[in-house]
Amino acid sequence: MIQELFTPSVQHWLDLIGIFVFAISGALMAVRKNWDVFGIAALAEVTALGGGLFRDLVIGAVPPAAFTDLGYFLTPLLAAALVFVLHPEVERTQVAVNVFDAAGLGLFCVTGTTKAYDYGLGLTSSAVLGLATAVGGGVLRDIIANEVPSLVRWDRDLYAVPAIVGAVIVVLCIRFDTLNGFTSGVAVLTAFILRLLAMRYHWRAPRAWNRRSAAVEVPEEVS
């Protein structure tokens, strides 16, 4: 089985690391919105677990891991507590948080794709679900916080594209029977580096040609 690329212990810790950094981003947004402690914790949980929960429900991996492993539930609460108490310090380390978020994006698009394929989905559907795993929590975070999701905002650095690239690499490796620990690592690293480069050079997706929209770019908040 494809999931055997990662031992259960390694998979568990990789998931927890990704969950933690995504929860940080959710908790920080709640603080900026001036939400109370419950709101901070709730947004951290949704951001961290939303993508994986959606994936597990689609593929029939029920009950989802978020409801069967206490660590999955407690890790976002730990992140929320840290932000609640130390949010000025966390804000100052935003660059580091963004780096870990990019690493989580790369990891989740790969593990999400492999898990979807392992549960019987086709290559294209597995790649789509890998993308959903990586970006789903952030979309839910923005919707709950009454923001236009960063995923579809033209004035934000590329986020979905690196995840798509990582997922496509995985399904191509599956198609040609070359998926292993090394090629999986290449997929994670590729998505990670693309996201970092997008943040560094502000790469953005093209918009429609000859558009008539009068929309103007607004200053981008750190997220």
Tell me the per-residue pLDDT of 33-67, one tens digit each, with 9 for 90 and over: 999 999 999 999 999 999 999 999 999 999 998 89
Task: Indicate whether 216 belongs to any domain.
Answer: no
How high is the pLDDT of residue 215?
A: 59
Number of domains in the chain: 1
Task: Indicate whether 209 belongs to any domain.
Answer: no
Contact 59, 3 (CB under 8 A): no
Task: Indicate whether 169 belongs to any domain.
Answer: yes
Radius of gyration of the chain (CA): 17
Q: Residue 222: pLDDT band by 50, 70, 90 thresholds?
A: very low
Contact 187, 179 (CB under 8 A): no
What is d(CA 125, CA 103) in angstroms, rounded to the nearest whole number?
A: 23
What is d(CA 208, CA 127) in angstroms, rounded to the nearest whole number?
A: 25
> Is 16's pLDDT higher than 90?
no
Q: Residue 167: pLDDT band by 50, 70, 90 thresholds?
A: very high
Task: Indicate whether 179 belongs to any domain.
Answer: yes
Average pLDDT over residues 65-89: 91
How high is the pLDDT of residue 6?
A: 61
Q: Count the Cβ atoms, other than its own, within 10 Å of residue 90.
A: 19
Average pLDDT over residues 86-100: 76
Mean of all residue pLDDT scores within the chain:
87
48-62, 95-109, 112-126, 138-152: range with lowest mean pLDDT: 95-109
Q: Residue 101: pLDDT band by 50, 70, 90 thresholds?
A: confident
How high is the pLDDT of residue 217?
A: 55
How high is the pLDDT of residue 92?
A: 75
Q: Is 134 exposed, middle or buried (0-12, 13-18, 19+ CB in 10 A)?
A: buried
Q: Report percent pLDDT > 90 for the chain.
A: 60
23-27, 35-39, 189-193: range with lowest mean pLDDT: 23-27
Q: Residue 116: pLDDT band by 50, 70, 90 thresholds?
A: very high
What is d(CA 192, CA 10) in angstroms, rounded to the nearest whole number?
A: 19
Task: Indicate whether 220 belongs to any domain.
Answer: no
Task: Indicate whether 215 belongs to any domain.
Answer: no
Q: Residue 60 region, left (φ>0) first, then alpha (ψ -120 to 50), else beta?
A: left
Listed in sequence order, the residues at least 6 apart from 131 whose beta carbon sits closer than 8 Å to its beta carbon are 109, 112, 160, 163, 164, 167
Q: Which residue segment(s) compose the domain that 72 sits in?
A: 2-201
How high is the pLDDT of residue 88?
A: 81
Average pLDDT over residues 103-116: 90
Pick the closest to residue 31 from 145, 150, 151 (CA basis): 145
What is d(CA 46, CA 51) in angstroms, rounded to the nearest whole number?
A: 9
> Is 172's pLDDT higher than 80?
yes
How high is the pLDDT of residue 126?
A: 96
Residue type at position 190: T
Task: Indicate whether 221 belongs to any domain.
Answer: no
Task: Indicate whether 218 belongs to any domain.
Answer: no
Q: What is the pTM of this model?
A: 0.85
How high is the pLDDT of residue 223?
A: 41
